[in-house]
Structure 1
């Protein structure tokens, strides 16, 4: 009997990365210059950013941490706030890095092979092993959940001008919802779809007046991360 958890973090990151790869695999040079949901970034810039995230994951998964765990899959995001000076500097560095690929096919190929390698590393990892990333220590399982969340949110960003592209994986959207619920300390509004919750929860869309009224004091905490 197969006892592997069908909803475990390694399955979530596989689903999220495979969905993201499907969205990028068919893109060409012209589509790579379309704007995304990330301010100031074209598709190629966002692909480069997500490539870096997968590379960071490969390093973390192969470098066990000696320090104690200080973040989990929810609290990891408390450091990430939109419109900070660090975020602005990161956007600038990403645009410079992405500009080094004069042919989008080279960037696309590196992105696809790196995400595939990260999925294999994720499935081989001990989910309870502490790993270090972004100045914190998480279990490998919690790291994988953060990867699924970031890949899914950026999948929504990537496809704002690509209506025919495949959408995010349900498992990735479920990980985003669980993370936002954890940061909020309660479930989101009952009528929110996964995609709308992802957008308002990360500052991609503003709360409407009715939503603010329904949330009450909790509305002031939005965006929950960005």
Structure 2
């Protein structure tokens, strides 16, 4: 997926999430999510944190060349260790505690993603960045991982709020291609799944039944485990 397409998916999905949280009540901000111990407000704080890595990375010296893809970014190592996860939880809760109320949290998210989007659009298509894990990646590939964060956690928030998922077609297609690979990007259609259901299935948020497991194996699909 090209630089411009990834940025479009990022912009659209962030806009949809921003619209969804703009009018939440105080009680809704405090609802628990499946990403324990985060509330809806904490989870939005986490999304702000992971988007805010972009300006920091763009301010740093550009690495010589890309070493890994978005798919390789999700390789299992210490980035998913208990210690790293504890730091991730604390950062999200600290970010969520900053704004005075839910409205301010929504405004913080809007300002955060718009700033990142603006900075990314000013970069050439071949721009590379180094992640906080030390990976050198094309900026477009790293932004694709941010689309995953916004899309998947958008599903978590929608489920916590008891409302329909707002996953945008652009983000759904981008994440499907990442999760399944180009050769299997239409597999969700063959399985009869919407893009939101595909994300739930591939991240373990909704288990596969025996029939689905057999069909996935028959199609030769080996997707990423994002947790």
Q: Same fold (TM over 0.5)?
A: yes
Distance verdict in 2 for CA 1:84–1:206, change over 3 Å? farther
Tell me the residue number matched to 1:60.
Answer: 57
Give the counterpart of 1:50 among 47, 51, 62. Answer: 47
Residues 91-136 of structure 1: CA deviation (Å, up to 9, x unaligned): 5414641345553333332222111111211222222111111321
- Bigger shift: residues 97-106 or 154-163: 97-106
Q: Distance in 1 between matches of 2:211 and 2:108?
A: 44
- Bigger shift: residues 6-15 or 34-43: 6-15
Matched, 1:126 2:124: yes
Matched, 1:75 2:72: yes
- Bigger shift: residues 109-118 or 172-181: 109-118
- Bigger shift: residues 20-29 or 75-84: 75-84
Q: Distance in 2 between matches of 1:131 and 1:9?
A: 15
Does the 8 A contact of 2:40 with 2:160 survive in 1? no
Does the 8 A contact of 1:23 with 1:166 survive in 2? no
Does the 8 A contact of 1:200 with 1:206 survive in 2? yes
- Total equivalences in the alignment: 221
Deviation at 1:174, TM superposition (A): 0.8
RMSD value, Cα: 3.0
Deviation at 1:84, TM superposition (A): 4.4
Alignment of 1:107-186 (within 5 A): 107-134=105-132, 135-164=134-163, 167-182=166-181, 186=184
- Bigger shift: residues 212-221 or 19-28: 212-221
Q: Distance in 1 between matches of 2:219 and 2:77?
A: 18
Give the counterpart of 1:105 among 100, 103, 106. Answer: 103
Deviation at 1:217, TM superposition (A): 8.1
TM-score by length of 1: 0.83
Q: Distance in 2 between matches of 1:204 and 1:80?
A: 21
Residues 58-92 of structure 1: CA deviation (Å, up to 9, x unaligned): 21233342243121122222247997424641454
Distance verdict in 2 for CA 1:73–1:108, change over 3 Å? same
Does the 8 A contact of 1:29 with 1:105 survive in 2? no
Deviation at 1:211, TM superposition (A): 1.0
Q: Which runs of 5+ in 1 are unaligned?
A: none
TM-score by length of 2: 0.83
Does the 8 A contact of 1:45 with 1:94 survive in 2? no
